Amino acid sequence: MKKILVIHGPNLNLLGKREPQIYGKTTLAQINQGLEKLARKNKVKLTIKQSNHEGEIVDLIGKTKNKYDGILINPAAYTHTSVAIRDAILAAGVLTVEVHLSNIYSREEFRHKSLISPVAKGTILGFGPKSYLLGLEALLDLMNVS
Ligand code: DQA
């Protein structure tokens, strides 16, 4: 069975309560339920983690080599700052899809740059919680399991 690691970055534990005008009212638990449902349908195993700590995310990515077939990541604020997460993805060499709830290009200028996009296979953004489902579908497709 193929294995995918889902990583939610900082403050995504607050989804539902956090700036709902931008991120909506869906909670992280609800997003995870949707992902689990899609994973079950396609018979892949998901491991889902949320962390507010850059180093912890680096460690999680570092452990994926030869253990996971794909990574679905919303690096959240670290998208715009983290050379360390970018390097971890490069070092792991595991197929990675980046997702964002909001369209970072229609927001403040400091969000317009993603350090992660150049090392991800692709990026899906702007569709709210659906970005995650589309991201997982893209991974399944790339892994030939959908
Ligand atoms: C985000 C966009 C980031 O700019 C922001 O820091 C987040 C969430 C998104 O999913 O839209 O925390 O990654």
What confidence tens digit (pLDDT) does each residue in 65-98 have? 999 999 999 999 999 999 999 999 999 999 999 9
As a whole number of angstroms, the distance between CA 113 and CA 105 comes to 8
Ligand 1 lined by 79 (C-beta under 6 Å): yes
Other Cβ atoms within 10 Å of 107 Cβ, number: 12
Distance, CA 103 to ligand 1 centroid (Å)? 9
CA distance 132 to 12: 13
Would you say 9 and 75 are in contact if contact means Cβ atoms under 8 Å apart?
yes
pTM for the full predicted model: 0.97
Give me the pLDDT at residue 145, please. 83
Residue 99 alpha carbon, nearest atom of ligand 1: 10
User: Which residue, chain included where needed, has tokens 């892994």?
Assistant: 143
The catalytic site residues sit at 23, 100
Interval 92-113 mean pLDDT = 98
